[in-house]
């Protein structure tokens, strides 16, 4: 469990994190999303004790991170895979972590196998690792203490499609076994595939939060029938919004209401489903438009 309450961080006159509150619950993957500079990394650094808060609290398993007796046994952290000691081998890095946490050295080999680093790769200097290999090593270091909580910032960077699928399955299994996962990523389709809950931050403030179904549901329904214009008129007569697009009708009503209304009006429905639109990507861009560096308003007015 991660509980963040009214968390604030100021750097002089700049407020990087502004009264942020949310919870990452056990047994669930919480996706933490926001544009660059929105406050994600600062929030995660405060949670993991690397940056002091100006105000508010961030607690892991009911305590400040600094008060955990053996943090690595309770919280696995990966904030920057490139921050590992470049002159050590992957095996050495895991051995040091194991010794620091009081773990048996057998745990090192178990983690190397879990993240699919071969013995030859484990004995290479980290400076010779690809980014994907560093990510796997970082995940191994985060998991070596068998923690209850995982806090990961962009863990899929550098992984190929098979590696991303492997990581998704790993995190899903961790949460399904009762663990808490707080995951930040710019790969929105991966967050959409794995997250149970989503928190969106923009300009240092939470702009949306809830379950994935709550946030992505309620974005309308797509209905198809042989007479889309007639169907749209029937929906509007029932007090429902309706727009015809590409031979289908889009309405803000939920699928059950749209289906019942079409049936009552005598329309044979050939397709009825939630209107996915752009899914998480569309929602993310809408919610964070004010804090996007690259505003998607066409090219007029752009400097040459």
| Contact call for residues 179 and 149 (beta carbons, < 8 A) | yes
Q: Which of 145, 156, 138, 147 has the alpha carbon at shortest distance from 195?
A: 156
Q: Which of 176, 159, 188 has the alpha carbon at shortest distance from 78?
A: 159
Spans of all domains in the chain: 2-210, 220-275
pLDDT tens track for 90-143: 999 999 999 999 999 999 999 999 999 999 999 999 999 999 999 999 999 999
pLDDT tens track for 225-248: 999 999 999 999 999 988 887 788
Superfamily per CATH, domain 2-210 = P-loop containing nucleotide triphosphate hydrolases (3.40.50.300)
pLDDT tens track for 60-96: 999 999 999 999 999 999 998 888 899 999 999 999 9
pTM of the model: 0.77
Q: What is the mean pLDDT of residues 14-21?
A: 95
Q: Which of 122, 71, 129, 124 has the alpha carbon at shortest distance from 100?
A: 71
Q: Going by C-beta distance under 8 Å and a sequence separation of 6 or more, which residues neighbour residue 132? A: 158, 159, 160, 163
Q: Which CATH number is 220-275 given?
A: 3.30.70
């Amino acid at each position: 469990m991660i509980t963040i309450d009214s968390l604030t961080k100021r750097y002089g006159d700049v407020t990087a994190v502004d009264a942020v509150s949310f919870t990452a619950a056990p047994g669930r993957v919480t996706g933490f999303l926001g544009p660059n500079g929105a406050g994600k990394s600062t929030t995660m650094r405060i949670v993991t004790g690397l940056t002091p808060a100006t105000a508010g609290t961030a607690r892991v398993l009911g305590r400040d991170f600094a008060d955990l007796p053996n943090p690595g046994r309770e919280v696995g952290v990966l904030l920057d895979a490139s921050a590992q000691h470049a002159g050590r081998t992957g095996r050495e890095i895991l051995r040091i972590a194991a010794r620091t946490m009081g773990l048996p050295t057998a745990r090192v080999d178990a983690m190397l196998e879990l993240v699919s680093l071969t013995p030859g790769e484990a004995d290479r200097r980290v400076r010779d690792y690809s980014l994907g290999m560093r990510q796997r090593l970082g995940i191994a270091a985060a998991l070596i203490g068998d923690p209850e909580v995982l806090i990961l910032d962009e863990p899929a960077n550098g992984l190929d499609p098979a590696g991303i699928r492997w990581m998704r399955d790993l995190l899903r299994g961790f949460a399904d076994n009762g663990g808490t996962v707080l995951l930040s990523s710019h790969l929105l389709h991966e967050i959409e595939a794995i997250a149970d809950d989503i928190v969106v931050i923009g300009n240092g403030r939470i702009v949306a939060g809830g379950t994935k179904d709550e946030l992505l549901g309620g974005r309308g329904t797509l209905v198809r029938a042989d007479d889309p214009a007639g169907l749209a008129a029937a929906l509007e007569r029932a007090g429902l919004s309706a727009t015809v697009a590409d031979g289908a009708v889009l309405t803000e009503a939920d699928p059950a209401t749209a289906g019942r209304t079409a049936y009552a009006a005598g329309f044979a429905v050939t397709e009825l489903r939630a209107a996915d639109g752009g899914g998480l990507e569309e929602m993310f861009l809408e919610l964070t438009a004010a804090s996007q560096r690259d505003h998607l308003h066409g090219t007029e007015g752009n400097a040459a």
